[in-house]
Amino acid sequence: MANHDLREVLEDIHAEVAHGILDDLRNGDKNARREALQLLKQNAITAAAMPETPTADLARMSGKLNFAELEQKVKVVPIRPPAPPSAA
């Protein structure tokens, strides 16, 4: 198989996987979100706030916000399932 053919096959596989995950997302598959995020991460797909959009304002503000002091004040309490009753 020539390199050109292999590249086309890989492109087809990638497209099928991406379309399958998108279909699953649209149909409410609970695992699709995790799969979609993994696919985006593996392909270095990121999002950026575009100028003149509501998210652009948030992006500009994020550099001005300092949550360092808040981190010291917040206590995270892990939620654990109740222990099973002991056989006595």
Triad 85, 86, 88: Cα angle to 5°: 130
Q: What is residue 22's predicted lDDT score, i.e. its pLDDT?
A: 94
Instruction: Please tell me the predicted confidence (pLDDT) of residue 88.
Output: 57
Per-residue confidence in pLDDT tens, the chain, 88 aa = 566 789 999 999 999 999 999 999 999 998 999 999 999 999 888 877 677 777 777 777 776 766 676 666 666 666 777 777 776 5
Closest CA relative to residue 22, chosen from 49, 47, 40:
40
DSSP for 30-59? TTHHHHHHHHHHHTT----PPTTSHHHHHH
pLDDT of 76 reads 64
pLDDT value, residue 50: 72
- In the chain, domain spans: 3-70
